[in-house]
Amino acid sequence: MDELSPHAAQLRAAMAGPEQDAEWSGGTAAACARLTPSELGALLPDAYRTLADDQAPDHARRVAREVTWSRVQPSFTAAALTDLYAALAESARPTDVQYAAAGLLRCSEPWDERALAGHAAVLVAAARQRADRTADAALAVAALAGPDTERSLAALLRTVFADSPLRRAEIEVALATGPRERALLAEDQRYGPALGAWPPLTALAELRAADALHVELAHRVLHTAADQLAALHAGETPYAADKAFTPADADTLGRAARLSLRRDEPWAGELLTAVLPRLAVAPTSARTLPSQSACIVLAQAVEEWPTPESIAALREACRVVRHAGVTKKLDRLLRRAERNLVRRPECALRLPDLGLGPDGTRRLPCGAYTAVLTVTDEAALTWERADGTALKSVPSAARRDHPDHVAAARDLLGEARTRLRTLIRSLEGGCAEGTVHRYDRWRDDLAAHPLARGTARRLIWEVERAPGDWQAFLPAAETPGGHPAATAPVSPPFPVPDPAAAVRLWHPARATSAERRHWRDRIAELRLRQPFRQAYREHYRPSGTTGHTTDLFHGHVVRLEAVLGLAVRQGWHIDDGELALPMGGMTARFDLAGHLYPGATGWAEAGSVTLRRADGSPQPMADVDAVRLSELLRSVDLLVSAGSFAWCDRHAHAPEDRQRMNRLYDQPLGRTARLRRAALRRILADQITAGRIELGDRQLRLDGYAVHLATGRVTRDGDPVAIDLPTGRRAAPLPFLPYDEELLERVVRTVGHLMAA
């Protein structure tokens, strides 16, 4: 065993004897965080012995508890692993077998099976009391305890899971593998590590991907579930709410889905499409589900390892589900899955052509009529007579005589729209992450794809002409030769890129002010409606930054209900009284001077935004990629904007609330409102030129009225004016808007209403 460092030796001494006089900088927790993996592996047996000893001093138990709570990944030598098994076996609890199984995966040397066998038998015997919870770990350790222990445990598990055929099949496959493979199965659990559990292995995906036995099992499990649900929805088997799968079967389904999606198996999307939507809705009119637990666990698998096909299946499940609580959970998981898809660029751009021709259309005969699916900027379904005459709606004769054909056409339209939504959200996430593609794949999978090209052509892209030299282009303004035109403010002629050249989405945080103005003018000139806000996207270079902290949003008073509701949708969570957002290898923390908890209400003052690395140390903002930092601050700005301002009848009326709103009203104009002003200057150019409208820094003035650009609130001589905007068919048509935003649309409608009054 390697010699322990001085502070690791002090920790061991503190657990073994009288209270130490050692002073650890930052306390015991900080000392434990400094342990190396091998040092933690050497100390854990002592910690478990100390915690099991009722006579141990309080100071020793405190140190032992901190050692077991350390977030360092332990590593064991063969001797340390034997010592771990011996320590756990001295006072074995049913769940201790999970640490024993996890130790096998973290052992850096061949272990001594003879030395482990006796301790392993004791741990398996204790685990039998909770065989339903510890089955996988117990099977791994039983392989070391000897054939008699293994046979006895297998017989017990077959009895415990007698009503769970999928779980029994998984156990039979595990019995054909060795202890390491079984330990991997125990490691792949539905929920994250609990307090005191070791961090999950980062190489777990690669290790499991090589196990062909489990891939075959995953295919069989999902196929069996699909057949079972098909029979249920066909009425061949009786329906009972939440009884289609046992909890054990649901966990097996989750592991099968995670493995198949992690490996991006070609059959995974098809099977999940057959399973997930049917799991989300009862075959009757009831608002129940065949198995709520199985539905959620499969949705969590899609969230963790999304593919375009699995996201489409999850979106369909969201569409058909009737259970209110499950609807909220699935919607939340769908949003996270779409955000996570950007981290898998190898499959994010994979789209079916849906039978579309080179012109982006597909014609589906329907008796004497034809349904025409057209995908340009969006997907649309129109109908024609046999002579090509266009119809305004679905012909009644087609609905009456060919209902299946009409339903198929509508389903195809729905699938096209679903695929486009997933693509757009994936591209927007890729823009924020700086995802890079090969030019030849970008050309084939996006620019020339009949389903995706309408989306790709309206976005600004960059191609790398030389290392570090990126040229922006807009496919909608291509030259006749078919390659991107040189449309940047100052640029040399644009050659046809090399097939291996890198392509990425343009982001305003990387551009100069002249380039940003150029692309906004270009988008307005071509009257392009971008799939997501790109040319007009907010970008941030934080002021008031001190190392790893910025006070850019300090002082804004926000409504907690609005902030927390949006924060959950954007991926933030509450951690130690602050909002936290994981971002790759770091975490952003947003301080709100209020008591944060799920469902919190009231007002709070926005504080600082801080970046920390995965180990908790400060992350200097100057070292963070400009796009990533800009997108983080944009997310915070959206939270502050959502909580700070309102523009309809939800204004606070109590005196104290009105004072807060007045304070918000006097805040400096935010980046979002400045972009809104730039868009309005182009939308209302004629009225501004004519002098009818005056566009100031904070307000738009028209005929004595003032419309605030950050709130949409209308005043006249300082007094609020209630504006009842027409809705539905009464609403006037909107002019061209360069991007979708509720407040921008409201300001434009307000201007139109005031001009017509």
Written as six digits, the tokens of 316 are 């369909």
SS3 letters across 91-155: CCCCCHHHHHHHHHHCECCCCCHHHHHHHHHHHHHHHHHHHHHHHHHHHHHHHHHCHHHHHHHHH
- Residue 27 sits in the same domain as residue 122: yes
Other CB atoms within 10 A of residue 689 CB: 9
Task: Flag whether 666 is in a domain.
Answer: no
Same domain, 581 and 485: no
**Residue 443 placed within a domain:** yes
For residues 397-413, b (16+ Cβ closer than 10 Å) or e, as one string?
ebeeebeebbeebeebb
DSSP letters spanning 710-727: TT--EEETTEE-------
Residue 625 in domain: yes
> Domain check: are 156 and 43 in the same one?
yes
Cα–Cα–Cα angle for 106, 107, 112, rounded to 5 degrees: 145
> With contact defined as beta carbons under 8 Å apart, do 167 and 221 qualify?
no
348, 379, 403 - which closes a domain: 348
Q: Which of 508, 418, 451, 487 is nearest to 739 (CA)?
A: 508
In our burial notation (b when 16+ CB lie closer than 10 A, e otherwise), range 350-365 reads: ebbebebeeebbbebe
Task: Give long-range contacts, CB 8 A cutoff, 24+ apart: 472-479.
Answer: 472/506, 472/511, 472/515, 472/519, 474/519, 474/522, 474/526, 475/447, 476/526, 476/528, 477/522, 477/526
Domain boundary among the residues 526, 555, 578 is at 526
Q: In the prediction, which pLDDT does 236 show?
A: 92
Which tokens is 117 given? 């066998």
| Residues 91 and 133 occupy one common structural domain | yes
**What pLDDT is attached to residue 203?**
56
Shared domain check, 221 and 160 = no
Strand partners, 2: none
pLDDT of amino acid 301: 93
394 φ, ψ (degrees, to nearest 5): -65, 125
Interatomic CA distance for residues 485 and 482, integer angstroms: 9
| 584 domain-assigned | yes
Pairing mode, if any, of strands 369-375 and 379-385?
antiparallel
What pLDDT sits at residue 546? 60
Distance between CA atoms of 706 and 726, rounded to whole angstroms? 19
CB 465: neighbour CB atoms within 10 A?
17
The CA-atom distances, in angstroms, between 233 and each of 226, 272, 284, 297 are: 11, 16, 8, 20
Q: Is-contact 376 369, C-beta < 8 A?
A: no
Hunting for tokens 């915070």 — which residue is that?
636
Nearest to 696 by CA among 683, 706, 686, 687: 706
* Pairing state between β 549-550 and 545-546: antiparallel
- Give yes or no: residues 223 and 335 share one domain: yes
User: Strand order in 437-438's β-sheet?
Assistant: 437-438, 502-505, 461-466, 469-473
Nearest CA-CA partner of 496 in 447, 453, 427: 447
Report the Cα 104 to chain-centroid distance in Å. Answer: 32
Largest CA distance in the chain: 97
Q: What total number of domains does the chain contain?
A: 5
Contacts of 107 (CB under 8 A, 6+ apart): 75, 76, 77, 78, 81
Q: Which residues pair with 689 in a beta bridge?
A: none
Domain boundary (298, 329, 348) is at 348
Phi, psi of 84 (to 5 degrees): -60, -45
Residue 686, class by beta-carbon neighbours within 10 Å (0-12 exposed, 13-18 middle, 19+ buried)? exposed
263 shares its domain with 197: no
Give the span between the Cα atoms of 198 and 218, in whole angstroms: 26
pLDDT of residue 478: 63
Q: How many helices (H) and strands (E) does the chain have?
A: 30, 20
* Shared domain check, 101 and 185: yes
Alpha carbon distance, N-terminus to C-terminus of the chain: 86
Phi, psi angles (nearest 5°) of residue 393: -150, 180
* Claim to verify: residue 162 and residue 192 sit in the same structural domain: yes
| The predicted structure's pLDDT at residue 487 | 40
For the range 550-555, what are the long-range contacts, defined as Cβ-Cβ under 8 Å and sequence gap of 24 or more? 550/608, 550/609, 550/621, 550/633, 551/607, 551/608, 552/609, 552/633, 552/636, 553/606, 553/609, 553/636, 553/637, 553/640, 554/606, 554/607, 554/608, 555/605, 555/606, 555/667
DSSP state at residue 202: T
User: Does residue 222 sit within a domain?
Assistant: yes
Residue 501 contacts by C-beta under 8 Å, 6 or more apart in sequence?
Answer: 438, 439, 463, 464, 465
Rounded CA gap, 543 and 302, in Å? 39
**329/299 Cα distance (integer angstroms):** 9
Q: Which two tokens stand for residue 217?
A: 């099992």
In this structure, what token pair is assigned to residue 99? 């640490």
The reply to whether 154 falls in a domain is: yes
In a domain, 73, yes or no: yes
Total residues belonging to the chain: 757
Distance CA 422, CA 455 (A): 12
Rounded to an integer, what distance in angstroms lies between the CA atom of residue 632 and that of residue 634?
5
Do the beta carbons of residue 366 and residue 462 sit within 8 Å?
Answer: no
What CA–CA distance (Å, rounded) separates 699 from 750? 13
**To 10 degrees, the CA torsion angle through 42, 44, 46, 52?**
-160
pLDDT for position 649: 36
Q: Return the CATH number at 566.
A: 3.30.310
Helix or strand run (H / E) with residue 403: helix 403-433
Q: Which residues of the chain are modeled with pLDDT < 70?
A: 1-2, 18-27, 189-196, 202-213, 478-495, 542-546, 615-616, 643-672, 711, 717-720, 728-731
- What's the per-residue H, E or C state across 547-571? CCEECCCCCCEEEHHHHHHHHHHHC
Identify any residues that bridge with 130 across adjacent strands, giving them in sequence order.
none
Asked if 192 and 220 sit in the same domain, the reply is: no
550 in the same domain as 517? no
Q: Are 529 and 737 in contact (CB under 8 A)?
A: yes
Query: Which residue, among 423, 421, 275, 415, has the nearest Cα to 345 in the 3D structure?
Result: 423
Among the residues of 558-691, which ranges form H helices? 560-570, 626-644, 655-665, 671-683, 685-689
398 CB-near residues (< 8 Å, 6+ apart)? 366, 367, 368, 369, 383, 405, 406
Report residue 110 as tokens: 């061949």
Q: For residues 721 and 744, give the distance between their C-alpha atoms in angstroms, rounded to a whole number.
A: 18
pTM of the entire predicted model: 0.72
Residue 484 in 3-state DSSP? coil
In this structure, the answer to whether residues 44 and 162 fall within a common structural domain is yes
Structural domain for 156, as ranges: 6-201
Tell whether 536 is covered by a domain.
Answer: no
- Report whether 37 contacts 73 (CB < 8 A): yes
